[in-house]
Structure 1
Amino acid sequence: MNLHQLNTEARAGHVDELNLIAIEGGDYLIEARVKGHAHPLSDTRGERMRVRSVEDARERLKGIPMLSMHLVHWSVQDEMCGMSSHPEEDLKVPISQRSAW
């Protein structure tokens, strides 16, 4: 899904939420959840859109209608020795789509 498609789906009320997913190296991916399915956003070349920060994501999404947005960090328990018996829980924190500055 590209930004134009996201805008169309958001205006139609089909987007459940946006997730800003932290990945290794300090980058983030943006995914739109539409009717329970994940749709990673793609850039103009058709590749997964990577953003450098929450503010970078907000800048790219500024023309999109306001949606529920979350910052997601995957569970680190799978990387820790001896933690396999604990249930994995991702950290999912609500954030504003618009800057508080």
Structure 2
Amino acid sequence: MNLHTLTQHAANSEIRELELLSLEGGVYLARIRLDHGQFTLLDEAAQPMHLRSIPHLRQVLHTVPAFPCVLVQHCVHDEMCGRDTGPVGELRIPFSLSTPL
């Protein structure tokens, strides 16, 4: 999904959530959830848009109507140290496009 399409969906209140996925190397990817699926935010070359931070995402989306957002980070300490039982959960922190964390 490109920025133009994201803006259209936001204007129609169709975006259920944007997940800002924290990856190794300080790179973030945005995944947009609609009722009919999930889509990665793409750049002008139709490649996944690499974001640097929440402020960078806010800068990119400054003209887009607001919608729910969440920062998603996997708990690497549990993966490195091991867990006795159960799956390793992810950390989900809600944030706003209009206000700082």
Instruction: State if a TM-score over 0.5 links the two structures.
Output: yes
5+ long unaligned stretches in structure 1: none
Paired with 1:79 and 1:41, the residues of 2 have a C-alpha distance of 28
- Percent identity over the alignment? 35
CA RMSD of aligned residues (A): 2.0
TM-score under structure 2 normalisation? 0.88
TM-score under structure 1 normalisation? 0.88
- Tell me the equivalent position of 2:44: 44
Paired with 1:100 and 1:53, the residues of 2 have a C-alpha distance of 12
- Note the C-alpha offset of 1:78: 6.6
Aligned length: 101
Query: Structure 1 residue 68 and structure 2 residue 68: aligned?
Result: yes
- Tell me the equivalent position of 2:88: 88
For 1:1-80, list aligned pairs within 5 A: 1-35=1-35, 37-76=37-76, 79-80=79-80
Paired with 1:31 and 1:63, the residues of 2 have a C-alpha distance of 18
Paired with 2:36 and 2:23, the residues of 1 have a C-alpha distance of 22
- Note the C-alpha offset of 1:84: 6.1
Paired with 2:100 and 2:26, the residues of 1 have a C-alpha distance of 21
- Note the C-alpha offset of 1:77: 6.0
